[in-house]
Amino acid sequence: MNSSDRHQGRTATEAGWHISRYNIAARIPGTKMTVIFNTYRRICAVYTPIELHIMRVLDEVSENHPLIGRLASRGVIANYDEREAFALQRTLSCAHAPVGGVSITICPTLACNFECPYCFATRGRGKMTPEVQDDVVAFAARMLDAANAKELTITWFGGEPLMATDVIEALSPRLIEVAEERGCKYEAWIFTNGHLLSQSVVDLLLRCRVTYVHIPLDGVGVTNDATRRLVGGGPTYQRIVDNLGLLKPPIKTLMPKSSRGILQTCESSASSTSMQEQLETEGWILRPESTFSFRDLTDDYFQITNPAPWTKAFRLDF
């Protein structure tokens, strides 16, 4: 550390700064850069070795160091009790329901058949136990009652949720029943890598009233296969594309440009326009029931957040 880094007055630690307990970090292959996803602030950003070093020496660096503010703005360091703040945030979220609906994201498993290098979920094992499934159903009922909701939206997430189709099949009718008992509309989405889709899986999704399938790709062909690869290696693109042919109305496909965007800012690979053009050349995103959404990243971080208009207050009694 050079002399300008040394503190005069309080150190960052003395001023209360500490590393966030909600950071998930991954080194970007072939670079010295690190991606950190702060799950509390929901900010994903790329960090230089100097920024990482500053995070490690908060007890030596001045609280006024210029990087402190930058790191704080992205949530990777904090000067407050995050657990207390998180609990407060949860209470406030429960106290202000989005108009009309309750959305619940469910991970039936954190296991995955892919090992994308930027993913925190690749070491997950097991699947949701029956006891937790009971809790999920009870939670959905409480949320709907408390919000006096008119709609229940379930998002199946992971890991790879299609590695636990038995959980989806067991939970869906129970959640549908909870919704319909209260006169609520039911809708379900799934975020899947698309590799395990088959006709029998599509039939299962239809039985479970999953009508939106969200499949991320990291590019076309070998560009995708460089990062979205099978556990132990192996390409995935062609099979995903073949499987897309199984998705017909009422299922709608959404193919976002999501995770790759984090790495793309470092690697300056294909632009959004060229990727969309390549996909369109292959013809399969032009189907009227399909939607292609692209997250265009012009900064080196983005915030995964989509605040809903909170207008109605209610209270939960747990």
- Applying CB under 6 A, which residues contact ligand SF4? 112, 114-116, 119, 121-122, 158-160, 193, 228, 259
* DSSP character string of 174-196: HHHHHHHHTT-EEEEEEE--STT
* Residue number of the CB atom closest to ligand SF4: 119
What are the angstrom distances between the C-alpha of 100 and each of 3, 6, 89, 132? Answer: 57, 53, 20, 26
Cβ distance to ligand SF4 smaller for residue 193 or 243? 193
For 126: left if phi > 0, alpha if psi spans -120 to 50, otherwise beta; the answer is: left
Q: Nearest distance from residue 305's CB to ligand SF4, in Å?
A: 19
Q: Nearest distance from residue 266's CB to ligand SF4, in Å?
A: 17
Q: Nearest distance from residue 206's CB to ligand SF4, in Å?
A: 23
Cβ distance to ligand SF4 smaller for residue 117 or 221? 117
Cβ distance to ligand SF4 smaller for residue 101 or 158? 158
Cβ distance to ligand SF4 smaller for residue 65 or 195? 195
Q: Nearest distance from residue 126's CB to ligand SF4, in Å?
A: 15
Q: Nearest distance from residue 166's CB to ligand SF4, in Å?
A: 18
What are the structure tokens assigned to 280, written together?
Answer: 């369109």
DSSP code at position 28: P
Q: Nearest distance from residue 265's CB to ligand SF4, in Å?
A: 17
What are the structure tokens assigned to 128, written together?
Answer: 């949701």
Please give the backbone phi and psi of residue 195, each rounded to the nearest 5 degrees, phi first: -75, -30
Cβ distance to ligand SF4 smaller for residue 67 or 116? 116
The whole-angstrom separation of Cα 118 and Cα 132 is 28
Closest CA to 277 of 266, 288, 269, 285: 285
What single-letter amino acid sits at 274?
A: S
Q: Nearest distance from residue 272's CB to ligand SF4, in Å?
A: 19
Q: Nearest distance from residue 118's CB to ligand SF4, in Å?
A: 7
Q: Which residues pair with 235 in a beta bridge?
A: none
Cβ distance to ligand SF4 smaller for residue 64 or 105? 105
What are the angstrom distances between the C-alpha of 144 and each of 57, 140, 148, 181, 189? Answer: 46, 6, 6, 11, 18
Cβ distance to ligand SF4 smaller for residue 63 or 160? 160
Is residue 246 within 8 Å of residue 287, measured between CB atoms?
no
What single-letter amino acid sits at 55?
A: M
Cβ distance to ligand SF4 smaller for residue 41 or 214? 214
Helix (H, G, I), strand (E, B) or coil at 294: strand
How many C-beta neighbours within 10 Å does residue 33 have?
19
